[in-house]
Amino acid sequence: MPAGKPLSPEQRRIAHSCATEAPFSGPWLHEKRAGLYSCAACGAPLFRSESKYDSGSGWPSFFDQISPDALGQRQDDSLGMLRTEIHCKACGAHMGHLFADGPAPTGLRYCVNGSVLDFTPD
């Protein structure tokens, strides 16, 4: 992972060890302002506020990424279940998981650890 701004211990645990913050504990869950969500590790743009919605899951959720190549994906079979892990394509930081239970127009839910996101209001 390229050097970026210093991460807190919790951010490092999530970004580098594929950990997960407790539901309803991270920042940005209730953020309603228009703006840009970027990777806290490297600053790469990942999501726009227009694709954010309340999934009720306890983590910030988005129905689309900012561009088709913002996030990478890989299979995650930890915890005895098969999921799709998402990571920042620029630096490899773990962001969360992708599920096929989101709203239109994509039907996707990018379930993201808010601790590894930065938010810049418009």
DSSP secondary structure letters along the chain: ----SPPPHHHHHHHHH---PPTT-STTTT--S-EEEEETTT--EEEEGGGEE--SSSS-EESS-SSTTSEEEEEE-GGGS-EEEEEETTT--EEEEEES---TTT--EEEE-GGGEEEEE-
User: Of these residues, 18, 39, 88, 111, which one is catalytic?
Assistant: 111
Active site residue 111: yes
Show which residues are catalytic: 111
